[in-house]
Amino acid sequence: MEDRRILSAEEKTEDLEQDIALIAQEFREGFQAVDQIDRPAVTIFGSARVQEDTVVYRDARAAGQRFAELGWAVVTGGGPGVMEAANRGAKDGGGLSVGFNIRLAHEQAPNPYLDISLTFKHFYARKTMFVKAAEGFLVFPGGFGTVDELFEALTLIQTGKVFHFPVVLYGTDYFAELMDWVRGELLADGMISPNDLELLHVTDDLDEAVALMLDSYERRAESPAAPVKADAQ
């Protein structure tokens, strides 16, 4: 795979210009796709392995529909599971449904509920678009990929790269042990500051999750100046 070669320490110098051009083109295509989103958007994350008959799928679909009915676009990773559910909900609500997929060895196919769809080769380009397109993240239960996107967002907020950007974890039971670790280890050992805990919201209430996004969006419109942020540690 191309990414594997680029990330290898053994990449040949003569390949650099071609690789840089390919990566730049992918960023360009991503920015052009984001430019097609003509309204506020929420990026919704969660596991590709979630099945249609689960509570998580049902709630993610309801979330997508709720945001669509409020005039927001819904952005996901474009695949199955939670991503499909949220995009499906956006279509249920008559809204704009966006999927930024990724080319993987096991071929993650785009779900059938997308108005705007782009498949990336490189994770770093794709992850940039998740942030650039959105006013905030709504995070459902997921695995390594979901947690990766979660902590990248928190680092961007903590270091002032983005601001007024809510991160909402949906599922208090699922995320309870993660939050215990954040408080009991990171905060207790001084690895984060007390106010860093304010970057995360945990809820089982969809109304609360939506309200947090809307409130943050309104505050961002009223106060565009960036607050002072701490260094990431």
Tell me the pLDDT tens digit for each residue of 25-39. Answer: 999 999 999 999 999
| Residue ranges with strand state E in the chain | 41-45, 73-76, 97-102, 116-120, 137-139, 167-170, 200-203
* Burial class of residue 42 (count of CB atoms within 10 Å of its CB; 0-12, 13-18, 19+): buried
Are 70 and 214 spatial neighbours (Cβ–Cβ below 8 Å)? yes
DSSP string across 53-88: TSHHHHHHHHHHHHHHHTT-EEEE-SSSTHHHHHHH
The residue-averaged pLDDT of 193-221 equals 93
Given a cut of 70, whether residue 152 has pLDDT beyond it is yes
Given a cut of 50, whether residue 229 has pLDDT beyond it is no
Question: Residue 228's pLDDT band (boundaries 50, 70, 90)?
Answer: very low
Least confident of 3-12, 27-36, 81-90, 207-216: 3-12
Question: How does strand 41-45 pair with strand 200-203?
Answer: unpaired
Query: Quick one: CA dihedral 50, 53, 55, 58, positive or negative?
Result: positive
pLDDT tens profile 75-108: 999 999 999 999 999 999 999 999 999 988 775 7
**Integer Cα distance of 131 and 98 in angstroms:** 13
pLDDT at 120: 94
Domain ranges of the chain: 2-222
Helices (H), strands (E): how many in the chain? 8, 7
Whole-number average pLDDT of the chain: 90
Please name the fold of domain 2-222: Rossmann fold (3.40.50)
Task: Give the pair of three-digit tokens for residue 100.
Answer: 């930024």
The residue-averaged pLDDT of 43-58 equals 97
Query: Quick one: CA dihedral 218, 222, 224, 227, positive or negative?
Result: negative
